[in-house]
Amino acid sequence: MRALITGAGGMLGEAVYQTASSLYKEVRASDIDLNEPWLHYLDVRDIRAVMTFCDDYKPDLIIHLAALTDLEYCEVNAEEAWKTNALGAENVALAAKKLGATMVHISTAGVFGGEKEFFHDFDVPNPLSIYGKSKYHAEQFVQQQVPNHYVFRAGWMMGGGPKKDKKFVNKVYQQLARGVKELFVVDDKLGTPTYTHDFSKNMSKVIDTVYYGLYNQVCGGSCSRYDVALDLVTLWRVQDSVTVTKVSSDHFKQEYFAPRPESEKLINLKLSKRDINFMRDWKTCLAEYAVQFPPLARP
């Protein structure tokens, strides 16, 4: 199989590239940010560039990772969010359809509106943010246009290490590295962490089954951001010198103004019922991931 990965320069990209390279005959990874020597330039927002790239390479499998995932940026730059997350996915889907290729699209727990605590694969989305709305559109388009498709919804992503992690784990680490002695962390937003390496490996197992469709795919268990922060200070051995203080989301309402659901906990209903749920517990994955960060100075 010949595989193409779009948006492979981000948090999830390296894990997917490693997994794909171990499984498929040939893998070509692309991004607009060429931050790795194995990346090729491709802007998924450009339909002609996408079609030319795919016509030349002729992939059997396209794994579409390219997206803008910063919720605040998407709220302020709505057109850019729609162009990248929605139009970009449409462009890739049309190329996959033209070639008769299988398409894998990565979506998000952010398609749900938080009306209840847990959401399974068959619950009806109700996105609150521009990010969530643009990703939900992409989900629908891929399902409608590409016969052989997989859509995987991720939760709170963790992975990429200090260099590429743009999410919560690295934000906590950077504060601690600056010598912060008290972390203020919200406890009123709930979700399911998702480790990039587990996500990538489980994704490949599902692709092998040829059970096409949409799947929630998150780590086992659920938590608040506060719970994650408590584990991190212990894993990084600074629990004796750092205080983790609970705050409400209002504490960060100016910095994190994009609407977020109270709960975006996902349940891997379809994966479990089909016996293809190999996602580990989030605490196990967090402990494995934490060692990728350099040791913190202790007083």
Q: What token pair was written down for 75? A: 């709220």
Looking at residue 299, its pLDDT comes to 63
φ, ψ for residue 154, nearest 5 deg: -100, 160
Q: Running DSSP on this structure, what letter comes out for residue 251?
A: G
Looking at residue 268, its pLDDT comes to 98
Q: Is residue 281 part of a domain?
A: no
> What HEC string does 74-139 produce?
HHHCHHHHHHHHHHHHHHHHHHHHHHCCEEEEEEEHHHCCCCCCEECCCCCCCCCCHHHHHHHHHH
| 188: nearest Cα among 249, 107, 277, 114 | 249
Q: Is residue 73 part of a domain?
A: yes
Looking at residue 297, its pLDDT comes to 78
Q: Is residue 268 part of a domain?
A: no
Q: What CA–CA distances, in Å, run from 237 to 175, 181, 295?
A: 15, 13, 9
Q: Tens digits of per-residue pLDDT, 19-38?
A: 999 999 999 999 999 999 99
- CA 200 from centre of chain: 10
Q: Tens digits of per-residue pLDDT, 208-238?
A: 999 999 999 999 999 999 999 999 999 999 9
Q: Is residue 95 part of a domain?
A: yes
| pLDDT averaged over every residue in the chain | 96
Q: Is residue 89 part of a domain?
A: yes
CATH of the domain at 68: 3.40.50.720
List the domain range (segments joined by +) for residue 74. Answer: 2-157+192-216
- From CA 29, how far away is CA 38, in angstroms rounded? 7
Q: Is residue 58 part of a domain?
A: yes
Q: Is residue 247 part of a domain?
A: no
| 204: nearest Cα among 166, 145, 150 | 150
- From CA 102, how far away is CA 96, in angstroms rounded? 7
Name the domain count of the chain: 1
Q: Is residue 46 part of a domain?
A: yes
Q: What token pair was written down for 296? A: 């913190």
Provide the whole-model pTM.
Answer: 0.95
Q: Tens digits of per-residue pLDDT, 103-132?
A: 999 999 999 999 999 999 999 999 999 999
